[in-house]
Every structure is written in structure tokens, then in C-alpha cells.
A and B are shown apart, each in its own frame.
Chain A
């Protein structure tokens, strides 16, 4: 036996990230009783679903996928979600924020800045309880946001679904601890070490299909808080917020009420990768209204049990 290093320098970054993510997905499937993968039809969850497909091939993905539907999503993303789930022959659970509202579990915000973004947490936690899920895969990355930069790959949630950022479990090497007591669950983030650019480069390498709104297209937009939002029936506009046609693409795909578009001419994957490689603004900074409430908006939402 020698002490020669055998970690090959030849494994390029994407292959290394892919291997790590597959390892994490298999650990969750092996250690947890009832995992579920959160799938929104957005780029990160598309990559996540592909990795899950690879992790268990030639078997089917051994867990359902779930979408928390605010009812205010881009129709393109919903159509994509349904088609992809059918192709993979996986069970698709749709947890509906509208139902939570109808049942009186949450109260809808009113006014021009109303959003169902925060209400999703209640719908999500109710669905976890209803289906007895003990692990949820999410596509969150540490490069997205400063609270996420702190989060473990196996991130523990107590019986109230809450994250306690000042008391996280130690996480050593790649030895993930999936043990839980009743009512607790794990949020698992296989893409923790990926950057936005890695995700796009992977989509390109794997030639993954993504919803059309990720590419430049003409759409009626209006301006608010120096961001461009899609004009839709879900967002009442204030005086002066007149819609106008603009060539945009979406860098993230979330609820229409809080997801802004960016002006872009990128019509192909190659052009999108080139655009992301040169950007000077983070994806959430450029497109997410929900992080602007306070300097710890994401941390506060995550503490409550948000994605």
C-alpha cells in the first residue's frame, strides 16, 4: 500500500459536483423513511430531479415530488412541471396555497404588494405533516444568499418545522446524520456547493429542457422598486405602473408576484451561460422582491420553515 494520492485531477468541476449530489441523494433515500423532492419547474429543481434520476437508474426515483403551488405561478412552469413528472413516471403531489386560504389556515395579504410567497410556509408544513415526510430535498444553493451560505447539507428541522441557525448539528466530512425523533424532519440540499453558473453549465452539458421563460422573450412588464415585474392578473398595479413591452428573461422562477425579470437578448443556452458568467449582480438581488423586506429576510423566513 502506498500513500500516493489517487483523487484524480481529471474529474472536472461539474462531474465532481454531480458525484457529490448523487451521494447526498442516495444517503437521504437510504437513511430516511419518507423523503420527497420539492419540484417547482425552476432550473435548480430541474437539475435536482435529473440528479435523482441518475442516482437510482435503472430503477425509478424512489420518492414522490411535490410542488407548493401558490396559484400565482408562471403557466409555462406549471405546464413543464406536469410534463416532466409524467415523463419520469413519478408521483406528483401539488400542495395548494389556495386550499390553505380556503380552509382558513392562512389569511391572504391584500394590496398592490400582496404576495403569497410567505403563505407557502404554512402550506408546506401542512403537507409535510399530512404525508408524514421526514426528508425534503430542496434545490437551494449556498451561493444564493447569506443565510443559505450558513446552512448544512442535511439541515435539521424541529417538530415545528423551524430552522435554528445558531444551533445547527455539526456536519463532518460526508457523514450525514439523518436520524430524527418523531415529527422532526431534514431538509437536504444536494446542490449546496453549486453556484448559479454551475447550474447553467450543467443544464447545457446535460442538454436539459427548461421552461421557455428562462430565455429572452417579449412580455408586458411594469417597473417597481427598480425591478421589472411581469404584468399579470395576480399583481394589482399602483398608479404610474403602466405595463410596456420589453424583451426579458427570468433568472429565477418563483411566484409571479415576487419574481422580477431581467432585460436580456439571450435566446439560447450558450447565450444564457455567457450572460451569467459576466453578471455582476446576484440572482436573488436582481430578481427577488421577497429578500428586500429586511437584511435578514431569508433567515427569518427559513426560521419559520420556508424552503
Chain B
């Protein structure tokens, strides 16, 4: 099942078609997220000799009894000093069955925005709960953020089972509560597993201290998790990133639109519209450095050429003429607010970046604020503070070609930027627009 080498395939030179699973940890501070990642890497022999020597040295210097596996991901000086995770660490490992990118995220409320960063690119959430404490507010916040980000697979690890005498009733109670909570958010694929990250029970190896658990160990579960891709509709969307004009003799009249396929398929000869104007034309060529292609699908980075000379620039979107997105100048969205400087208030002006388009947004209305404990929205709210989640209505300076986030991450997501500091202050997920 596991391997001692970074690439366990027999043919390390051939194309690698193993599926890739992107995972993000979630849960409250001290629930053992970093320790679990360390244990997963260590027991599956994915750590390198010098990394282990280094964390053994660090553990010894800091006077700890055992080798602290959390140091495998808590790499910053201040993280080691405080024994907490401040920012996401990315780890890469693979087994013969699958490749993994693990984002180990922080548990502190203060660092929620870093958790959102790690979770925004994940296919599945590895949610940890301390068996002694059960589900707490941060567990709910992270679970809700994960569901809002469109993650449809939760793996709940009830950790520190060694500290509750491997008690099955404790595990069952937490597993049932979380499963109920998740289903209210529309997440139906919830796997639950009792573990001790510190001692290794049910992480990579089976545990005879909890024989009542009948599922596979965590690693095997992750290797076989049927992670369906993020929700995506099948209408073609191609946000134009960059206009390529070589201005060289041999490519005198060349004009190509470089970008990354966001959804659907584009084929040579397809009838397309260029948003936001909606002007129609035909795809005359799809090119990459190597070849003339017949079709492009996500996430290919290609250059598209069109039959007619239209106004196409960065921020334009080449789309299926049959199923165009809405060119919206008013949008409703869920927001995670991440500014330490000021809350999000009605009448605020911000920069918005959606796909490859950047424009300005005016906060028309803060519609609601989430109470993470009850999962209820407070409709009387008029602002969102740091790390709060809410619903807002934004008026845009220029129309933006949108799809609901539930149908397409690429064309349903946006970020908000503070004009004064240029910092990213909000993550937005579009529900509708007009």
C-alpha cells in the first residue's frame, strides 16, 4: 500500500495518470491537524531522512519527550515557538494509487483567511475534532467554509482517541453530530474515522486498540475516496488573459487570445460569443506551443484565434454562443471577509477581480451575516467583521460575465481588494446576478 520512494510507479519516465487529490485540513486549534499530517507522511514513509533528523533535533532542543511530527509542516520560526500553525503549508506525496497535495491549515479564528486560502483549491476536507472537546465553534466555521467553497467530501477524524480510552460511544456521538451538521449544509459524503495522530492508530496502519472500527485506515480511505471534481457545468468559458501579438515578420497579422479553459469544451469551428458585448464569431484555431489543437478542455492553457476582428482584450470572455453567462452589473454573493483594517460596510468601494477581469464594486447591501453555531443568517446585519461570513449585494462599475459558484468555481468566484492597501480582503462566491 505504501512506498519508500517519492514516485512509486514502475515506469517513472512515462506519463503519470494517477489521479490527484487535493486535501485541506480543517478544525480548531490544538485538534492535531499538523500532527496528523506529520503522522500520515511519516508512517507512509514519505518523509526524507534529513527532514526527520531536523525535526528530531528541534524536538530535543525544545525539550519535548517525543519527536513532534507537527514540525514537518509547522516550518516557521513563530509557529514552532508558539506550537501553532499560522499559515498554510503545502505538502506533496504519492502512493502507487494516487498523488496528493495536502494543505495543512491553521485552526485559530485569527488565521481563518489562511484556512480559506488552503481550502479554496481543495477537493476534500480533512476535518479534525478533539475527542475530549467534541465539535466546537471553529469546527463548525471550518466545515461551513468548506461547504461554501464547494467541497463535497468531508473526512472527519475524531482525534486523540487515546485520551478518551478509545471509547466508542464518544466517537459515535461526535460522528453523528457532525454528519447531521454536514447534511444541513448539503454535504452528504461524510466519512468518519477514530484516530490517534500522536500514536498512529488507524492513520496508516490498523489499530487493535479500536477493533470496533470497521472501516479502512485513513490513508487507504484517502487513496480510494471517489472525489468528484468541483461542480462544473459544461458550457464553454474561456477568460482571456493576455493578447498575443508577435509583431514579427513571419507572424505579421497574428492575433491570439491566451488563457486557461475554465469550463466546457471549445472546438475549432465552434460558434462563440465574446463577453461582455455578446458579439458572435467562430473559433478559427486553438493553439499551443507544440501543436494546432482541435479542442480545448479545462484546465488547458491555450491560445485561441477567432475568425473576425472583434474587440477582445484581457477581461473579455470567449464563451459558448448557445449558453452564454450572464453579463451582470449587480451580483449577490457569499463573502468571507478577511480585512483586519476595517469591517465590510454598506457603501464601501472595493476593487473586484473575477476571472481575468478587474473592476470596481460598490457594496449596495450587506444582506445577512452567518451565525456559525446555529447556521442561521441574521438578516438585520449591516456589516461583516474580520473572519465573518455573510451575503452581500454588489454593484459593479463594468459588467462581469458570471455563473453561479455552485455551477462553476472558475466563473463564479471573485476576490475583493482594498484600494488603499492593495491587500486581498474578501473571498466571494456568486449566487446570482443581473
| Residues of B close to A7: CB separation below 8 A | 229-230, 232, 297-299
Contacts of B310-368 to chain A: CB distance below 8 A: 314, 323, 338, 351, 353-356
Residue pairs across A and B with Cβ atoms less than 8 A apart, 13 shown, are A1-B323, A2-B234, A6-B298, A16-B299, A22-B301, A23-B301, A26-B242, A150-B88, A169-B424, A172-B424, A175-B355, A177-B424, A295-B58
| Residues of B close to A103: CB separation below 8 A | none
Total count of chain B residues near the partner, CB < 8 A: 93
* Residue in B254, B351, B355 whose beta carbon sits within 8 Å of that of A179 in the complex: B351
A83 to B51, CA, bound (A): 37
Interface residues on A, range: 35 or more
Closest approach, in angstroms, between the C-beta of A183 and any C-beta of chain B?
12
A193 to B388, CA, bound (A): 30
A197 to B9, CA, bound (A): 12
Residue from B13, B232, B248, B288 whose CB has the most chain A CB atoms within 10 Å? B13
* Residue in B78, B90, B424 whose beta carbon sits within 8 Å of that of A149 in the complex: B90
B76 touches A147 (CB 8 A): yes
Contacts of A1-53 to chain B: CB distance below 8 A: 1-16, 18-20, 22-23, 26-27, 29-30, 53
A1 touches B299 (CB 8 A): no
Encode B232-260 as 1/0 by CB contact (under 8 A) with A.
11110000011011111011001000111
B161 within 8 A of A: no
Q: A residues within 8 Å of B by Cβ? A: 1-16, 18-20, 22-23, 26-27, 29-30, 53-60, 142-143, 145-147, 149-150, 152, 165-166, 168-175, 177, 179-181, 184, 192-193, 195-197, 201, 204, 270, 273-274, 276-282, 285-286, 295-296, 299-300
B15 within 8 A of A: yes
A299 touches B407 (CB 8 A): no
A5 touches B228 (CB 8 A): yes
Closest approach, in angstroms, between the C-beta of B267 and any C-beta of chain A?
13
| Residues of A close to B114: CB separation below 8 A | 168, 170
The stretch that binds A, out of B16-24, B162-170, B189-197, B269-277, is B16-24
B54 touches A175 (CB 8 A): no
Contacts of B361-417 to chain A: CB distance below 8 A: 407, 409-410, 413-415, 417
A296 touches B301 (CB 8 A): no
Q: Which residue of B lies closest to A53 (CB)?
A: B289
* Residue in A1, A174, A175, A285 whose beta carbon sits within 8 Å of that of B407 in the complex: A1
| Residues of B close to A16: CB separation below 8 A | 20, 299
B16 touches A14 (CB 8 A): yes
| Residues of B close to A197: CB separation below 8 A | 6-7, 12
Q: Which residue of A lies closest to B351 (CB)?
A: A179
B116 touches A149 (CB 8 A): no
A11 touches B299 (CB 8 A): yes
A57 to B288, CA, bound (A): 8
Do A13 and B18 contact each other (CB < 8 Å), given the known contacts A172-B116, A204-B13, A295-B54? yes
